[in-house]
Amino acid sequence: MTAVLSVTGVTGVTGVRPVGSAAALVEVDDPSRALALSLWLRARVVAVDIVPAARTVLVDGCPASMVAALVEEWSGSTEVPDGPLVEVPVVYDGPDLAPLAELLGLAVDELVAAHAAVEHVVAFCGFAPGFGYLQGSPWEVPRLASPRPRVEPGSVGLAGAWTGVYPTASPGGWQLIGRTDVVLWDPSAPRPALFEPGTRVRFVEVASWGGGS
pLDDT per position as a tens digit, 191-206: 899 999 999 999 999 9
Contact assessment for residue 131 and residue 164, using Cβ atoms and an 8 Å cutoff: yes
Average pLDDT, the chain: 92
Confidence of residue 209 (pLDDT cuts 50, 70, 90): low
pLDDT greater than 70 at residue 213: no
Question: Which residues are 85's β-sheet partners?
Answer: 200
pTM for this prediction: 0.90
- Tell me the DSSP string of the chain: -PPPBP--S-TTEEEEEE-TTSEEEEEES-HHHHHHHHHHHHTT--S-EEEE-SSEEEEETS-HHHHHHHHTTS----------EEEEEEB---TTHHHHHHHHT--HHHHHHHHHHS-EEEEEE-SSTT-EEEE--SS-BPPPSS-EEEE-TTEEEEEBTEEEE-SS-EEE-SEEEEE-----B-TTSSS-BS--TT-EEEEEE-SBTTTB-
What span, in angstroms and rounded, lies between the C-alpha atoms of 194 and 183? 7
Burial of residue 173 (number of CB atoms within 10 Å: 0-12, 13-18, 19+)? middle
Please, what are the domains in the chain?
13-71 (3.30.1360.40), 85-205 (2.40.100.10)
Burial 178-188 (b: 16+ CB within 10 A, else e): bbbebebbeee
What span, in angstroms and rounded, lies between the C-alpha atoms of 35 and 51? 9
pLDDT at 211: 46
pLDDT at 212: 43
For residue range 131-190, what is the model confidence (pLDDT) as tens digits?
999 999 999 999 999 999 999 999 999 999 999 999 999 999 999 999 999 999 999 988
- Tell me the DSSP string of 24-49: EEEEES-HHHHHHHHHHHHTT--S-E
For residue range 92-112, what is the model confidence (pLDDT) as tens digits?
999 999 999 999 999 999 999
Which residues lie below 8 Å from residue 112, measured CB to CB, with a gap of 6+? 92, 97, 177, 178, 205
What span, in angstroms and rounded, lies between the C-alpha atoms of 170 and 133? 16
Confidence of residue 81 (pLDDT cuts 50, 70, 90): confident
pLDDT at 150: 97
pLDDT greater than 60 at residue 130: yes
